[in-house]
C-alpha cells in the first residue's frame, strides 16, 4: 500500500536546460561527462564548491562560465505535475521532495510558497552529505515522512536512483511525463 509519494526535483518537479546542454557537449565524450558527473555529485553532497563545477564544465566545453551557470540554474516548475499533485494527491498521501542538489535556495527560486506547501518534507542531499542512490537517503526520507519505507513511492527520472530506492526497500517508478506518471500510479494503486 502506498502512503507516501516522494518526487525528485530536476527532471520531475522541475525542468532545466542542463539535459540539453549535456546532450550538446557530452553525448560523444562519456569520459569527460563522467568527470563532470562525479564533480557534480561531490558538489551535491556539499564536499566541493559549486564554482569548481562551473569552472571545470566551462573549461571542458569551451562555453563561458555564465553560460554554464545559466544552464545549471535556469529551472522552472513542472506546472502540469504540480497541478496534478495539488488536485489528486495532496491530502491523500504524505508528499516529499528528495533531490541531489548543492543549493538550498533552489527550492525558493523554482517554487512559489503555495507550491512548496504541497510537500510535507523537502530533503536536499547537500544538507545530509549523501546523495541518491545511497540507500540511506531513502531511509531518512521515509523516517521524516513518518511512513514505513516499503509504503513509500519514489518518482524519479534516473534509473540509478530507482535502483537505490529498491535496494532500500522503497517502491519506485520512472518518470518520463505527467501523463505517463498518472497511468503508472493508477496501475500501482490497483496492484496494492
Residue 134 CA: distances (Å) to CA of 26, 34, 96, 186: 25, 18, 17, 28
Contact 133/150 with Cβ under 8 angstroms?
Answer: no
The predicted structure's pLDDT at residue 192 = 67
pTM, to two decimals? 0.77
The predicted structure's pLDDT at residue 20 = 66
Domain boundaries along the sequence of the chain: 4-14+75-191, 18-73
Contact 133/164 with Cβ under 8 angstroms?
Answer: yes
Sign of the torsion formed by the C-alpha atoms of 137, 126, 86 and 163: negative
The predicted structure's pLDDT at residue 25 = 87
Report how far residue 133's alpha carbon sits from residue 167's, in angstroms, rounded to the nearest whole number. Answer: 9
Fold classification of 4-14+75-191 is Rossmann fold (3.40.50)
Weakly modelled stretches of the chain, pLDDT under 50: none
The predicted structure's pLDDT at residue 4 = 98
Contact 88/81 with Cβ under 8 angstroms?
Answer: no
Amino acid at each position: 500500500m502506498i502512503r507516501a509519494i516522494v518526487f525528485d526535483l530536476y527532471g520531475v518537479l522541475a525542468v532545466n536546460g542542463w539535459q540539453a546542454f549535456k546532450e550538446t557537449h557530452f553525448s560523444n565524450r562519456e569520459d569527460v561527462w563522467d568527470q563532470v558527473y562525479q564533480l557534480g555529485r561531490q558538489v551535491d553532497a556539499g564536499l566541493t564548491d559549486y564554482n569548481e563545477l562551473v569552472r571545470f564544465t566551462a573549461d571542458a566545453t569551451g562555453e563561458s562560465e555564465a553560460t554554464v551557470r545559466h544552464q545549471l540554474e535556469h529551472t522552472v516548475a513542472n506546472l502540469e505535475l504540480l497541478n496534478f499533485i495539488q488536485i489528486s494527491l495532496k491530502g491523500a498521501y504524505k508528499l516529499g521532495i528528495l533531490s541531489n542538489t548543492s543549493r538550498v535556495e533552489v527550492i525558493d527560486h523554482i517554487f512559489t510558497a503555495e507550491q512548496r506547501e504541497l510537500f510535507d518534507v523537502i530533503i536536499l542531499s547537500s544538507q545530509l552529505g549523501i546523495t541518491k542512490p545511497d540507500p540511506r537517503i531513502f531511509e531518512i526520507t521515509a523516517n521524516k515522512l513518518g511512513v514505513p519505507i516499503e509504503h513509500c513511492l519514489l518518482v524519479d527520472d534516473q534509473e540509478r536512483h530507482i535502483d537505490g530506492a529498491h535496494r532500500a526497500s522503497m517502491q519506485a517508478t520512472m518518470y518520463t511525463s505527467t501523463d505517463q506518471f498518472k497511468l503508472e500510479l493508477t496501475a500501482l494503486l490497483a496492484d496494492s
